[in-house]
Amino acid sequence: MVSTWEDFYAKHPPPQDLTQNEQALKEFTRKHLETENKVVLVTSGGTTVPLEHNTVRFVDNFSAGTRGSVSAEYFLEQGYSVIFMYRIKSLEPFSRHFIGQKFLDLLKISGNNENSVITVLPEYTEKVATVLRKYREAFDKKKLLQLTFTTLSEYLWLLRSACQALAPLEDKAILYLAAAVSDFYIPSNEMSVHKISSSGPPTISLQLVPKILAPLVNLWVPKAFVVSFKLETDESLLIPKARTALNKYNHNLVIANMLQTRKQQVIIVSKETNYVLSLTNEQLDNGDEIEQLIVKDLIEKHIKFIRSKPTS
Ligand code: PAZ
Mean pLDDT for the stretch of residues 185-196: 93
Verify whether ligand 1 is closer than 6 Å to residue 211 (CB atom): no
CA distance 206 to 187: 8
Mean pLDDT of the chain: 96
Task: Please tell me the distance between residue 47's alpha carbon and the centre of ligand 1 in angstroms.
Answer: 11
| pLDDT at residue 312 tops 70 | no
When pLDDT is averaged across residues 176-197 and rounded to a whole number, the result is: 95
If you measure from the C-alpha of residue 88 to the centroid of ligand 1, how many angstroms do you get, rounded to a whole number?
16
pLDDT at residue 102, rounded to an integer: 84
Alpha-helix residue ranges (DSSP H) falling in the chain: 5-11, 18-34, 66-77, 101-105, 122-140, 152-166, 213-215, 235-249, 281-285, 290-307
H-type alpha helices, 167-289: 213-215, 235-249, 281-285
Our answer on whether the CB atom of 257 is closer than 6 Å to any ligand 1 atom is yes
**Pair 169, 33: CB distance under 8 Å:** yes
Nearest CA residue ID for atom 9, ligand 1: 180
Taking 90 as the threshold, does the pLDDT of residue 137 lie above it? Answer: yes
- Would the CB of 227 count as within 6 Å of ligand 1? no
Residue 277 DSSP one-character state: E
Q: Indicate which atom in ligand 1 lies nearest the CA of residue 257.
A: 13
Largest CA distance in the chain: 67
3-class SS of residue 176: strand
In sequence order, which residues have a C-beta less than 8 Å from that of residue 67 and are 6 or more positions away? 44, 178, 229, 262, 291
Compute the distance between CA of residue 174 and CA of residue 141 in angstroms, rounded to an integer.
Answer: 20
In short, whether 262's Cβ falls inside 6 Å of ligand 1 is: yes
- The string of pLDDT tens digits covering residues 154-182 is 999 999 999 999 999 999 999 999 999 99
Measured CA to CA, the distance from residue 279 to residue 97 in angstroms comes to 20
The CA 231 to ligand 1 mean position distance, Å, reads 6
Under 8 Å between Cβ of 44 and 87: yes
Burial class (CB in 10 A: 0-12, 13-18, 19+), 18: middle
Ligand 1: which of 229, 232, 234 to mutate, judged by most atoms within 8 Å of the beta carbon?
Answer: 229
259 CA → ligand 1 middle, Å = 8
Q: Which atom of ligand 1 is closest in space to residue 70's alpha carbon?
A: 3
**Residue 134 Cβ < 6 Å to ligand 1:** no
For ligand 1, say whether the CB of 76 is within 6 Å of any of its atoms.
Answer: no
Dist. CA 205–CA 73, nearest whole Å? 39
User: 90: Cβ below 6 Å to ligand 1?
Assistant: no
If one counts every other C-beta atom within 10 angstroms of the C-beta of residue 120, the result is: 15
Question: Rounded to whole angstroms, how far apart are CA atoms 211 and 5?
Answer: 7
The model's confidence at residue 113, banded by pLDDT at 50, 70 and 90, is confident
Pairing verdict, β 265-269 and 274-278: antiparallel
Residue 62 Cα: closest atom of ligand 1: 4
Query: What single-letter DSSP state applies at residue 30?
Result: H
Are β-strands 117-120 and 107-110 bridged in parallel, bridged antiparallel, or unpaired? antiparallel
pLDDT (mean) for 146-160: 98
Q: Which of 92-96, 160-164, 179-183, 202-206 has the lowest mean pLDDT?
A: 202-206
Q: CA 5 → CA 153, 191, 213, distances in Å?
A: 11, 19, 10
For residue 232, the ligand 1 atom closest to its alpha carbon is 19
Kindly write down the DSSP assignment for every residue of 120-140, as one continuous string.
E-HHHHHHHHHHHHHHHHHHH
- Tens of pLDDT, residue by residue over 242-292, are 999 999 999 999 999 999 999 999 999 999 999 999 999 999 999 999 999
184: part of which helix (H) or strand (E)?
strand 184-185
Tell me the mean pLDDT in the region 197-207.
93
Q: pLDDT at residue 107 above 90?
A: yes
As a whole number, mean pLDDT of residues 82-101 equals 95
Q: Is the ipTM of this complex over 0.95?
A: yes
pLDDT band at 1 (very low <50, low <70, confident <90, very high): low
Any ligand 1 atom below 6 A from CB of 67: yes
Residues 99, 65: contact at Cβ < 8 Å?
no
Band the pLDDT of 135: cuts 50, 70, 90.
very high
Determine the distance from the C-alpha atom of residue 235 to the mean position of all C-alpha atoms in its chain, rounded to a whole number: 23
Q: Is the CB of 43 under 6 A from ligand 1?
A: no
Atom of ligand 1 nearest to the CA of 67: 3
3-state SS track over 225-256: EEEEEEEECCHHHHHHHHHHHHHHHCCCEEEE
The confidence score (pLDDT) of residue 112 equals 86
Specify the pLDDT at position 90: 98
Nearest residue (by CA) to ligand 1, atom 1, is 65
